[in-house]
């Protein structure tokens, strides 16, 4: 190995050690000082391996990529949510928490190894061009789509630039090509509908910087309608989480006092308690929160807080079980490090890590294709490799299982004008879909029944 390459390798190892010390802070430094010799032996072993591989491996090795992979392996060995974020991944994470991006305006997922459109966003280039839910995107600018993140990255770009996507659509014999001009796409994490007069529905898709403000605006629109709001269905199904303070603020909207969340790190680090505050608007109407195996992290914080305070009835299936808190620290050259700093606990002291929030009323979701009631078969936190364990001694809720089929509600309300911004039109859950969703209808039945019994009692 040349002297130049050797110096380059030693510089990388030194940078790795210094970066780790700066990122992990005083606790790491104290542990390092207590066992410096053993730590440096490990780093020397690492250096020896890289040097041998770089000198003798059958093909030339990119040292930087090899060290990135080593750091990534170290982070993944800790838990499933800790990771080194290359510049592109860090930018994507930042976009996901902000209120807009530039692209074509579609929600996509990976189904059967194909990039599949969940729904176009109304008013965007994709919507105007006729992209439909269920379309399979097989190429972007002529290059096959094999990875979801890569496909999303290539569809995004500066405003005014053109991207060509190739799709296959059910019923079409040949692939279809669409030439789309990218534009600024607003991101709304809150969608809202009136299920019937006096009964609202809000779907929070994830927790972004604007989520609480958008939720307040949507609630105000429904609360100021001619019919007072008698009950709310808060849908957190398939909500993967997001910004911690937004989950706390959303919970605070429906609580007047008491603890919302506590987080506890190692040896007292990062330990905090978040409490509710009195609100100017009194939102004392009953709430049913919907959760499933896709409800994780921030959405579990909201569900757990409202459940522990007896402020909402939780309906659906057990949530994902991600009861840990991550932070992202910036590194040199645009890299970031995401790592777990604490576990969080609901107001009653429950850790839902690898357990999830259990519903008060268990209602498995109906499979729309065959009209069957099925269990929740999603992968949970407890199924992930290297998942953190919860602390022992937490009591689990015993859900009441219901499989009844509610009747379809035919009463169609007139939408308040201010609610138009948040309507779930052209999303996977428009009003027609909602009124065929057995979990939503079960929640609506509960709210209506509560109002009937309350009136009987008062009468």
Task: Return the active site residues.
Answer: 297, 308, 322
Query: What CA–CA distance (Å, rounded) separates 208 from 97?
Result: 4
Q: What is the 3 state secondary structure string of 316-375?
A: ECCCCCCCEEEEEEECHHHCEEEEEEEEEECCCCCCCCCCCCCCCEECCCEECCCCEECC
Q: Residues 206, 296: contact at Cβ < 8 Å?
A: no
- CA torsion, ordered 353, 355, 358, 362, to nearest 10 deg: 140
Backbone angles phi, psi at 69, to 5 degrees: -65, -35
Query: What CA–CA distance (Å, rounded) separates 342 from 327?
Result: 9
> Among 135, 138, 134, 127, which Cα is nearest to 105's?
127
Query: What CA–CA distance (Å, rounded) separates 438 from 364?
Result: 9
Query: What CA–CA distance (Å, rounded) separates 429 from 341?
Result: 35
Q: Decide: residue 391, CB within 10 A, 0-12 exposed, 13-18 middle, 19+ buried.
A: middle
The tokens of 39 are what?
């730590």
E-assigned strands of 220-318? Answer: 231-235, 259-264, 272-275, 287-291, 313-316
Q: Residues 196, 411: contact at Cβ < 8 Å?
A: yes
Backbone angles phi, psi at 403, to 5 degrees: -125, 10
Helices assigned H by DSSP within 385-437: 431-434
315 has which bridge partners?
Answer: 290, 361
Q: Residues 343, 263: contact at Cβ < 8 Å?
A: yes
Query: What CA–CA distance (Å, rounded) separates 87 from 68?
Result: 12
Query: What CA–CA distance (Å, rounded) separates 73 from 385?
Result: 13
The tokens of 212 are what?
């609480």
């Amino acid at each position: 190995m040349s002297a130049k390459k050797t110096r380059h390798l030693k510089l990388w190892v030194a940078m790795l050690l210094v970066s780790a010390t700066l990122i992990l802070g005083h606790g790491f430094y104290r542990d390092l000082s207590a066992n410096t010799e053993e730590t440096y032996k490990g780093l020397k072993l690492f250096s020896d391996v890289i040097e041998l591989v770089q000198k003798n491996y059958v093909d030339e090795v990119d040292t930087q990529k090899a060290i990135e992979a080593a750091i990534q392996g170290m982070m993944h060995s800790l838990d499933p949510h800790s990771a080194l974020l290359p510049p592109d991944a860090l930018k994507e994470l930042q976009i996901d928490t902000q209120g807009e991006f530039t692209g074509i305006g579609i929600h996509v997922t990976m189904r059967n190894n194909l990039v599949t459109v969940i729904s176009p966003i109304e008013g965007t280039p994709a919507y105007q061009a006729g992209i439909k839910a269920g379309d399979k995107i097989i190429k972007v600018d002529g290059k096959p789509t094999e990875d979801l993140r890569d496909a999303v990255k290539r569809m995004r770009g500066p405003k005014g630039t053109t991207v060509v996507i190739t799709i296959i659509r059910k019923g079409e014999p040949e692939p279809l090509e669409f030439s789309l001009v990218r534009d600024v796409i607003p991101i709304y994490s809150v969608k809202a509908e009136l299920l019937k007069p006096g009964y609202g529905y809000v779907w929070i898709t994830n927790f972004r910087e604007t989520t609480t403000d958008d939720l307040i605006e949507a609630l105000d629109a429904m609360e100021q309608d001619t019919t007072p709001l008698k009950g709310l269905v808060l849908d957190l199904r398939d909500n993967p989480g997001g910004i911690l303070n937004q989950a706390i603020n959303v919970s605070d909207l429906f609580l007047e006092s008491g603890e919302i969340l506590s987080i506890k790190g190692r040896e007292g680090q990062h330990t905090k308690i978040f409490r509710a505050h009195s609100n100017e608007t009194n939102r004392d109407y009953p709430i049913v929160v919907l959760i499933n195996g896709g409800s994780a992290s921030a959405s579990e914080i909201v569900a757990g807080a409202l459940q522990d305070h007896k402020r909402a009835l939780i309906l659906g299936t057990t949530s994902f079980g991600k009861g840990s808190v991550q932070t992202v620290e910036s590194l040199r050259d645009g890299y970031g490090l995401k790592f777990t700093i604490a576990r969080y606990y609901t107001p009653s002291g429950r850790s839902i890590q690898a357990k999830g929030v259990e519903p008060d009323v268990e209602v498995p979701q109906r499979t729309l294709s065959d009209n069957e009631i099925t269990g929740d078969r999603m992968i949970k936190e407890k199924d992930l490799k290297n998942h953190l364990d919860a602390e022992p001694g937490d009591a689990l809720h015993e859900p009441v299982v219901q499989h009844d089929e509610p009747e379809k509600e035919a009463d169609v309300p007139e939408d308040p004008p201010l609610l138009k911004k948040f309507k779930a039109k052209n999303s996977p859950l428009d009003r027609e879909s909602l009124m065929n969703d057995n979990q939503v209808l079960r929640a609506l039945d509960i709210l209506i029944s509560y109002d009937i019994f309350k009136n009987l009692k008062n009468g």
